[in-house]
C-alpha cells in the first residue's frame, strides 16, 4: 500500500510503488498498460502526469488515464474514469494534464498508459505492488499489472480484457510511473 499517500501534502504528485527505485522503460506502441494504484484515504485530484526521459521519433504520442476497479473481489480494471488526453512525446520532460477537482474514494484504481506512432522512454519503477498473485510456473512469475494490444486512440471503456482475463496479466519488470496531484 502506498503509505506515503496516506499522509499527503496538497499540491504534490503521488503514485503507487513499494520502494525507492526509479528507472526508465521504452513504451510499447499500441499496447495498453495498467498498474494498480491503492488509495488508502479519500481525496480530490486535479492533475495526472508522466515523464518522458527520451523522446520518440516524429509523431510520437501517448495518453494516460484512470480506470476504476471492476469490483472489490475482482482485481481488474473496468470503467474509464479519466482520459488525460493526447500528449506529444517527441520531447523530454513532464507531461501533465490538469482538470477540475475530481473526488476519489478509498479503493483500488488502475493507472493506464497507451503510446502511439513511435515509442518514447518514460520514467518507470520496478516497485509496483504485486497484487495479482503469482503464476504456477514459479515464485518469480509475479503479476503486477495488465497489458493488452490496443490501437492508439482515446482510451477505451471499459478496459478491454480478453477471455479469460488472465491472458492479459503482465509481469512488468519496469512499469511506467503515472502520478496524480492531490489538492485536498
Integer Cα distance of 43 and 61 in angstroms: 30
Between 73 and 119, whose confidence is greater? 119
Q: Is 148 exposed, middle or buried (0-12, 13-18, 19+ CB in 10 A)?
A: buried
Q: What is the mean pLDDT of residues 115-143?
A: 77
List 47's β-bridge partners, or say none. 98, 181
Question: Over 60: is that where the pLDDT of 3 sits?
Answer: no
Specify the higher pLDDT residue, 138 or 87.
87
Ranges of H-type helices in the chain: 3-6
Please tell me the predicted confidence (pLDDT) of residue 19.
64
- The torsion angles phi and psi of 75, rounded to 5 degrees, stand at -85, 65
pLDDT at site 2: 43
pLDDT digits (tens, 9 = 90+) for 16-52: 766 667 888 999 999 999 999 988 889 999 999 999 9
Identity of the highest mean pLDDT range in 63-77, 95-109, 137-151: 95-109
Given a cut of 90, whether residue 102 has pLDDT beyond it is yes
Mean pLDDT of 107-125: 95
The answer to whether the beta carbons of residues 149 and 30 sit under 8 Å apart is yes
Confidence of residue 88 (pLDDT cuts 50, 70, 90): very high
Q: Is the pTM of this model over 0.75?
A: yes
Least confident of 45-54, 129-138, 160-169: 129-138
What is the DSSP secondary-structure string of 51-69? Answer: EEEE--STT-EEEEEEEEE
Supply 63's cell numbers: 495518453
Q: How many domains does the chain have?
A: 1
What is the rounded distance in angstroms from the CA atom of residue 184 to the CA atom of residue 182?
6
Cα dist. 15→8, 63, 97, 129, 178 in Å?
A: 11, 16, 15, 11, 6
pLDDT confidence tier of residue 1, bands split at 50, 70 and 90: very low
Residue 166 makes CB contacts below 8 A (sequence gap 6+) with none
Query: What domain range includes position 166?
Result: 3-133+141-182
* Top mean-pLDDT range of 17-21, 32-36, 68-72, 83-87: 83-87
In the three-class reduction of DSSP (H, G, I as helix; E, B as strand; rest coil), residue 168 is classed as helix
Q: How does the average pLDDT of the chain come out, rounded?
A: 87
Residue 99 has pLDDT above 80, yes or no: yes
Amino acid at each position: 500500500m502506498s503509505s506515503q499517500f496516506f499522509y499527503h501534502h496538497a499540491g504534490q504528485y503521488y503514485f503507487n510503488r513499494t520502494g525507492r527505485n526509479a528507472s526508465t522503460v521504452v513504451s510499447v506502441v499500441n499496447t495498453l498498460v495498467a498498474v494498480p494504484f491503492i488509495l488508502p484515504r479519500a481525496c480530490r485530484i486535479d492533475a495526472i502526469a508522466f515523464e518522458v526521459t527520451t523522446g520518440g521519433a516524429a509523431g510520437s504520442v501517448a495518453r494516460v488515464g484512470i480506470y476504476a476497479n471492476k469490483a472489490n473481489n475482482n482485481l481488474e480494471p473496468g470503467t474509464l474514469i479519466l482520459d488525460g488526453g493526447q500528449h506529444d512525446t517527441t520531447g523530454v520532460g513532464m507531461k501533465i494534464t490538469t482538470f477540475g477537482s475530481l473526488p476519489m474514494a478509498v479503493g483500488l484504481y488502475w493507472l493506464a498508459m497507451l503510446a502511439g506512432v513511435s515509442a518514447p522512454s518514460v520514467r518507470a519503477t520496478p516497485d509496483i505492488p504485486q497484487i495479482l498473485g503469482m503464476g504456477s510456473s514459479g515464485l518469480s512469475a509475479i503479476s503486477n499489472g495488465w497489458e493488452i494490444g490496443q490501437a492508439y486512440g482515446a482510451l477505451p471503456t471499459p478496459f478491454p480484457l480478453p477471455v479469460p482475463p488472465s491472458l492479459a496479466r503482465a509481469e512488468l519488470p519496469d512499469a511506467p510511473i503515472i502520478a496524480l496531484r492531490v489538492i485536498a
